Amino acid sequence: MSYCPNAMRISRMSDEQTPSDSKLTTSKRRWAAEGKFLTGRISRPETERLPPGQHLVKNWPVLDLGQQPVISLNTWRLEVRGLVERSLDLTWAAFQAMEQSTKVSDIHCVTTWSRYDNKWKGVATRDLLDLVMPKPQANYVMLTSYDGYTTNLPLSDFAAEDAILATSWEGLPLTHDHGGPMRLVVPHLYLWKSAKWLRRVDLIPADQAGFWEKNGYHMYGDPWREQRYTDD
């Protein structure tokens, strides 16, 4: 099912706003405190395809913070700023005019489901970085979404070979429920690191905690090391 661009309008939050609490966010904070789903087993992607504690699904479950932004393609923007030689403020037309890539990858959610062989189309993160030219001091990225959600990544992971700013899934436009019109996909980390409804990428010198990282979740989030929750 595709989204209808004409049926959406933008509702942007200020940089100071954060997502509101919901039943899901309350539950996930409790899971972090209790260490829910942890098996204590470590696996490696080169030898095992399914990370520890995960189970396969055929569908794609929808999870969010209880509020979904409404977005018009006429006013959509992707900003890239911070420690870069060239800041960007891309319109939807400019983003679509960039080189388009296709990727196939597995995805793993911290709530224990995984889905194999997802087909994505969009802009490779490496192509975006080629445009902005990160400065030598840039080591991490902070991602900000249209719903106020934030999450952090090492720059090297944002620039992974299979990381993509996806606008299409399984040959159809990415639905609004799953982060459309564009979301990040970094498949080698838990899916909370792959921000939905992405609107800004800040390149920064040192690591900073995002929304879930401030609420008991791991700063890195490697599924094969079962890094679900904080390592403090």
DSSP code per residue over 57-92: -SS-----SS------TTT-EEEEEESBSS-EEEEH
pLDDT at 156: 98
Count Cα atoms within 13 angstroms, Cβ side, for 230: 16
Kindly report the average pLDDT of the chain as a whole number.
86
CA–CA separation, 187 vs 118, rounded Å? 10
Q: What is the DSSP letter of 177?
A: G
- Residues 10 and 75 sit within 8 Å (Cβ to Cβ): yes
Summarize pLDDT for 162-179 with one digit per residue, the tens. 999 999 999 999 999 999
pLDDT at 18: 54
Tell me how far the alpha carbon of residue 205 is from its chain's centroid.
20
End-to-end Cα spacing for the chain: 42
Is the entire prediction scored with pTM above 0.75? yes
| Alpha-carbon Rg for the chain in angstroms | 17
Closest CA to 84 of 128, 20, 35: 128
Summarize pLDDT for 62-84 with one digit per residue, the tens. 876 667 899 999 999 999 999 99
- Residues 202 and 144 sit within 8 Å (Cβ to Cβ): yes
Q: Could you tell me the pLDDT band of residue 99, with boundaries at 50, 70 and 90?
A: very high
In this model, does residue 224 exceed pLDDT 90?
A: yes
CA–CA separation, 215 vs 231, rounded Å? 12
Q: Could you tell me the pLDDT band of residue 12, with boundaries at 50, 70 and 90?
A: very low
Domains of the chain: 5-225 (3.90.420.10)
Q: Give kind and range of the element (H or E) at residue 24.
A: helix 23-34
Tokens standing for 221?
């989030």
In this model, does residue 111 exceed pLDDT 70?
A: yes
pLDDT at 11: 36
